[in-house]
Structure formats: structure tokens, C-alpha cells
Structure 1
Amino acid sequence: MTTNTNTNTAAYVAAPAVRIAADKLAPAAMRAMSALDKATASSGLEAGLKELVRARASQINGCAYCVETHTNDALAGGEGRRRLFLLPVWQETGLFTARERAALALTEAVTRLSDGPVADGVWAAAAAEFDDTELADLVWLITTINAWNRVNVAAHVWPVD
């Protein structure tokens, strides 16, 4: 293993090797996922909200590649560092709007389906902030980032140093 010395004072061990190039070995599935991703990216939801949702689901799923990608995309889109630093504990802050909070709660519920179904209260809060089309777009966005997370975590796709 090599070390990465891109930090201030410490050398870190490199990430494990990629397990499988799922994108190259299953190109039809990759094209389909890319098309789904493009469709969710072109929805009418606010760009910043999309990146918060993608980053939060990726944090929960432990997808280093997607956390890095979507926090960087959020920063490039004008999102503040403070809100991104506090995204894992968004419930504990007053930094997120009611609309963002509803989206993040739904993101967490859909991402953690193994804990139980999406609670009626979580759905109702989202439905109060999003019209039906936006809510459908949000569900597809959450579903898509969860699919990417699962492929990347299983295949050991890591951020490039």
C-alpha cells in the first residue's frame, strides 16, 4: 500500500484496491444507471437541495466516493461549509429550512428502510413542503443515490487522490 501525504501533518494509508470495475464489466447496467441519474439531475428540484440529499444518503451508506463528490458539488454550487460540516447532525441545528429538513428526513427514512417503513409523519412533512411532482422527483433522487452508493461501496470505488 502507498501513503497519501496530502494533509498537513500526517501520512495516511491508501484506500483498498477497487474490487471490481462494475461500470466496465456491466456496461448496459451502467448506461441505464447513468440515464436514471441524468433524469433525476434534470428534475425541477433545487440544485443545492439535490446535493444535500445526495451527500446525506452517501454519509449514511458510507460511500466515500459519493460523499466527496456531492460535498464538492455542493460547495461549487454555493453551499456553505458550515452547513456541510453539520449535515450529519442537521436535526440539531437551525441551519436548514423546513423544505430541506423535510427532504433530509425523507432521505434518511428511505435510505434506512431496513429499520422499518417510511413513517407517515415523515411522508406528511415532505408532502407539506413538496408538490406531488417534486415529491416523486425527490423519491427518485433518493433511490438513485442509494443505488450508486451500493454499487460503489460493494465495488470499493474510492475518491481519487
Structure 2
Amino acid sequence: MEVRIHHSKANPGVLQTMFKLEGFIKESGLDPVLYEIIKIRASQINGCAYCLDMHTQKMRSLGETDQRIHLISVWRESPIYSDHERVVLELTELVTAISVQGVPDAAYARVREHINEQEYVTLIMAINTINAWNRIAIATGMFPGCV
């Protein structure tokens, strides 16, 4: 396999812009484990092998168990995620597939039971950021170990 385009070489401004988004999220106070959960779930939905490989490794380095990593895609059937994590996973799925049903009022209400307005907007930015990374990686042909 070969990468189609090395985006960071073809247009360095893209990488700089993406790193600014990452910096905003890191400075927001969002829990790093929660951010990795978001990244993994969005990457699963989008089918981004490159990002899945990167973020499952990152979660392990943060001390998360293989069980919590492997069961993210079936979080509804697993009791190992907190209520806070569950609403974030639900929001991640809805925003990632926004064209399917948007974010229904009932889902928004569930999320807001656990998350204030500021965190809600931060989560949307976090979800948007990994979705952008997924699209860059998939469209340029990135795969695990390619860089």
C-alpha cells in the first residue's frame, strides 16, 4: 500500500490548522481519556484504520484496559462506561452521522443532564476535529504504519 498524497507536504497549512484545533481542545480541559474515546468511536464509524490504530494505542498509553478499548463500538451493551461517557458516545455518533437524524431533542436533553453548555460546545469541536482528521486520512490513503 502507498499513501496517495502526503497532506503535510502537499499543503502544510492544513496540518497547522488541524494542530490549532487540537490545541484548542487540549486547552479546554476536556479529559484526555474521554477525547480518545471520542476519537475511537468516530474513527470506527468513519472506517479510518489509521486513526483507530493511533488512538487505541494512545488509550493504552493512558492506562486504559483492552476491554474498555474493544467495547467502545458496543458501548450500549456494556456496563463499563460511566453515564457521562455514554452521553458523550451517543453525541459522538449523532454528530459524526449528522445527516442521518441530526441531534434529536431527546438526545440533546440526555447529554445536557451531564454536560454544561461550554462542555457541549467543546465536545462538538472535539467530534468535528476527529471527523476532519478521519476524512483527511481516508481521502489521502493513510493506513496504520504509513508515516
What is the TM-score of this pair, normalised by structure 1? 0.86
RMSD: 1.2
The amino acid of 2:39's aligned partner reads: R
Residue aligning to 1:23: 8
Q: 1:84 and 2:69 equivalent?
A: yes
* Greater length-normalized contact order (CA 8 Å, ≥ 6 residues apart): 2
8 Å CA contact 1:111–1:146 kept in 2: the answer is yes
Deviations 1:118-155 (A, max 9, x none): 11122111111111111111110000000000000111
Q: Structure 1 stretches of 5 or more lacking a match? A: 1-15
The amino acid of 1:96's aligned partner reads: Y
| Number of aligned positions between the proteins | 146
Residue aligning to 1:160: 145
Q: Structure 2 stretches of 5 or more lacking a match? A: none
CA distance in 2, matches of 1:156, 1:42: 30
CA distance in 2, matches of 1:18, 1:85: 27
Residue aligning to 1:113: 98
Larger Rg: 1
Q: 1:128 and 2:128 equivalent?
A: no
| Consecutive aligned runs of 4 or more in structure 1 exceeding 2 Å deviation | none
Q: 1:37 and 2:27 equivalent?
A: no
Q: Percent identity?
A: 38
What is the TM-score of this pair, normalised by structure 2? 0.94
Query: Displacement of 1:82 after TM fit?
Result: 0.5
Deviations 1:105-130 (A, max 9, x none): 00000001121211112211111111
